[in-house]
Chain A
């Protein structure tokens, strides 16, 4: 599986036209600041964050609500820009990337799992899982189907391909979301409270799934969570308070 990942990475680099520098760091954040400015108030969401996530790591980020965890994850996922500081993904600084380059990098390198699943209700399970591959012109329709089926098989939902999200339980929806993240064969999965909407049993199932992906397939995972028990299952716990890393 490791070789598959490496192959995928090299294809991805070719597609977005950027040379890959050898590095063990998957994500490197240097002096990241994020300030939300309104007419009357300035809110510091992240305050000089320096953080490195290595390839193959499973890291959890914890902290009280409003401490900047989700903002940090958005910056790592290239969904938001920091007010200042440097972001490197797989050794490449992305500060000056265009919208198209950032979209390409997200598509090739990163898989997202959200607390509220973010499935498109009008698309079948299979169509939802295919979504990230839709934005890769190099992948044919047939290959898209095959990869989506393989991803659903991995999360144990191969019998539900033609169902719609409304016909699934919360745990099944989250598994579909994980399958969608996996379909793109990402090196990095960013999970924002993936078990937050699930009961403890289903939460455990999802956690086991993520742990399996990390251990067996070498996928780097960064997970935001409020659950101390689940955080302890990961290799490293990073704690935030008021926009600053405290441990």
Chain B
């Protein structure tokens, strides 16, 4: 029977061509959507590389106050650290976790190798205690880094693998051919996905930021991250805001928890995904209705054939199975064409995603398209099975 179905499909190749093309395009749309879904899910499952719970972010703005900002900030950090309930305080650049800003560069070189595009962060000696990174080699910044010849940096494993391969990254010197600065790797953390829950673990590098040497002008305002004791709430927040108001003269401070920022960023990231998903769903519903209509029409056109097959010994279920089988063969041909296109993505390295993401997306899209066509074919096939042979044989 399978050979018979293939013969029928082949002999009806002209009328099946558009159907196969429709399935191929639907598969491709499903594949692209699946790539997005799978890559986001794949990223979501990866470790963040830091702990965002119980960390508050203070966006501090000096406004018109230009007198000794560094001294004021140093005093503010000391005051905040001394507050009961505060575990650690770090000051950093504006690309804090889940923020909408980022800095990236590919300036670093090791021997003749240039770094891939790398996320750059500024971090002081206390950031490790605030964000609780998972250090896998070397150490975090400390006083040993004062006055050293090469500026100390901490990198993530992704950066280390890209630059040093199998070699141990700790102690390696990074250079920039365009400027005299050099950097020495003092430690390696496992990962740092600060963009969002769906962000990939991109290569990352942390530069040591020391308050004494930090320039704070009107374009660069400090961001403070404060780790507080578990269970701390509005009372502590009030205390900290009061301290900021007391220590500084008219500085503004906006407070958010990193968890709030995480939630906001997730919504921001999910919105286009959901929109794309809805567009894809709309397309798929259209495709499904199209397939349903084509099959319905097909069955009406073939009523006489159905009657003949019943007369020759086909059961109702046999007729239903044949129509389902024909649809699955047509779908298989469309999917084969779609897979031939889809496999170009990992081969050509489009989007730079891991091959397993494409593989999983191909499997997902294949399953979805077969389920879709099976659902669309089911009802028309049942109708075909219920056709009375005596009636349909009278139809020309």
Give chain A's interface residues, CB within 8 Å of chain B: 70-71, 74, 77, 79-80, 99-100, 103-104, 106-108, 112, 114, 116, 118, 120, 122-123, 127, 131-132, 134-136, 141, 180, 184
Which chain B positions have C-beta within 8 A of A104? 313
Interface SS of chain B: helix
Instruction: Other than A104-B313, A107-B313, A135-B318, give 11 A-B pairs with Cβ distance below 8 A.
Output: A74-B393, A77-B311, A79-B390, A103-B314, A106-B311, A112-B308, A112-B311, A114-B393, A120-B308, A132-B313, A135-B309
Question: Do B388 and A123 have beta carbons less than 8 Å apart?
Answer: no
Question: Do A79 and B310 have beta carbons less than 8 Å apart?
Answer: yes
Residue among B4, B315, B396 having the largest count of chain A Cβ atoms under 10 Å: B315
Which chain A positions have C-beta within 8 A of B313? 103-104, 106-108, 132, 135-136, 184
Which chain B positions have C-beta within 8 A of A132? 312-313
Question: Do A79 and B393 have beta carbons less than 8 Å apart?
Answer: yes
Which chain A positions have C-beta within 8 A of B8? 122-123
What is the number of contacts between chain A and chain B, taking CB atoms within 8 Å? 70
- Cα–Cα, bound, A185→B12 (Å): 29
- Of all A-B residue pairs in the complex, the 5 with the closest CB atoms, nearest first, are A107-B313, A135-B313, A80-B390, A74-B390, A122-B11
Contact string against A for B residues 316-358, beta-carbon threshold 8 Å, 1 for contact and 0 otherwise: 1110000000000000000000000000000000000000000
Question: Do B312 and A135 have beta carbons less than 8 Å apart?
Answer: yes
Which chain A positions have C-beta within 8 A of B390? 71, 74, 79-80
Question: Do B11 and A123 have beta carbons less than 8 Å apart?
Answer: yes
Question: Do B315 and A100 have beta carbons less than 8 Å apart?
Answer: yes
Which chain A positions have C-beta within 8 A of B304? 118
Return A145 CB to nearest CB of chain B, in Å. 11
Which chain B positions have C-beta within 8 A of A112? 308, 311-312
Which chain A positions have C-beta within 8 A of B311? 77, 79, 106, 112
Contact string against A for B residues 81-108, beta-carbon threshold 8 Å, 1 for contact and 0 otherwise: 0000000000000000000000000000
Q: A99-B315, A99-B316, A135-B313 are in contact. Are A118 and B12 (CB under 8 A)?
A: no
Which chain A positions have C-beta within 8 A of B388? 80
Return B123 CB to nearest CB of chain A, in Å. 72
30 contacts between A and B (CB under 8 A): A74-B389, A74-B393, A79-B307, A79-B390, A79-B393, A80-B390, A99-B315, A100-B317, A103-B310, A103-B313, A103-B315, A103-B318, A106-B312, A107-B313, A108-B313, A112-B308, A120-B305, A122-B8, A122-B11, A122-B12, A123-B11, A127-B7, A132-B312, A134-B1, A134-B4, A136-B313, A141-B3, A180-B312, A184-B312, A184-B313
Return A12 CB to nearest CB of chain B, in Å. 11
- Cα–Cα, bound, A221→B144 (Å): 108
Q: Does B45 contact A (CB under 8 A)?
A: no
Give chain B's interface residues, CB within 8 Å of chain A: 1, 3-4, 7-8, 11-12, 304-305, 307-318, 388-390, 393-394, 396
Return B242 CB to nearest CB of chain A, in Å. 84
- Cα–Cα, bound, A74→B390 (Å): 6
Which chain B positions have C-beta within 8 A of A77? 311
- Cα–Cα, bound, A131→B314 (Å): 10
Q: A77-B311, A107-B313, A131-B312 are in contact. Are A118 and B393 (CB under 8 A)?
A: yes
Residue among A74, A99, A116, A122 having the largest count of chain B Cβ atoms under 10 Å: A122
Instruction: Kindly report which residue of chain B lies nearest to residue A111, judged by CB atoms.
Output: B312
Which chain B positions have C-beta within 8 A of A135? 309, 312-314, 318
- Cα–Cα, bound, A123→B5 (Å): 11
- Cα–Cα, bound, A141→B1 (Å): 10
Which chain B positions have C-beta within 8 A of A127? 4, 7
Question: Do A131 and B393 have beta carbons less than 8 Å apart?
Answer: no
Interface SS of chain A: helix
Instruction: Kindly report which residue of chain B lies nearest to residue A119, judged by CB atoms.
Output: B308
Residue among B313, B316, B394 having the largest count of chain A Cβ atoms under 10 Å: B313
Instruction: Kindly report which residue of chain A lies nearest to residue B312, judged by CB atoms.
Output: A132
Which chain A positions have C-beta within 8 A of B4? 127, 134
Which chain B positions have C-beta within 8 A of A123? 7-8, 11
Which chain A positions have C-beta within 8 A of B315? 99-100, 103
- Cα–Cα, bound, A134→B312 (Å): 9
- Cα–Cα, bound, A97→B14 (Å): 41
Return A66 CB to nearest CB of chain B, in Å. 13
Question: Do B314 and A79 have beta carbons less than 8 Å apart?
Answer: no
Return B373 CB to nearest CB of chain A, in Å. 21
Return B322 CB to nearest CB of chain A, in Å. 10
- Cα–Cα, bound, A114→B307 (Å): 12
Instruction: Kindly report which residue of chain A lies nearest to residue B12, judged by CB atoms.
Output: A122
- Cα–Cα, bound, A100→B319 (Å): 12
- Cα–Cα, bound, A134→B325 (Å): 15
Which chain B positions have C-beta within 8 A of A116? 396
- Cα–Cα, bound, A70→B390 (Å): 9
Return A18 CB to nearest CB of chain B, in Å. 15
B312 touches which one: A71, A100, A107 (CB < 8 A)? A107
Residue among A103, A106, A132 having the largest count of chain B Cβ atoms under 10 Å: A103
Which chain B positions have C-beta within 8 A of A134? 1, 4
Residue among B3, B312, B318 having the largest count of chain A Cβ atoms under 10 Å: B312
Which chain B positions have C-beta within 8 A of A184? 312-313
Return A179 CB to nearest CB of chain B, in Å. 13
Instruction: Kindly report which residue of chain B lies nearest to residue A109, judged by CB atoms.
Output: B313
- Cα–Cα, bound, A2→B1 (Å): 30
- Cα–Cα, bound, A134→B4 (Å): 8
Instruction: Kindly report which residue of chain A lies nearest to residue B394, judged by CB atoms.
Output: A70
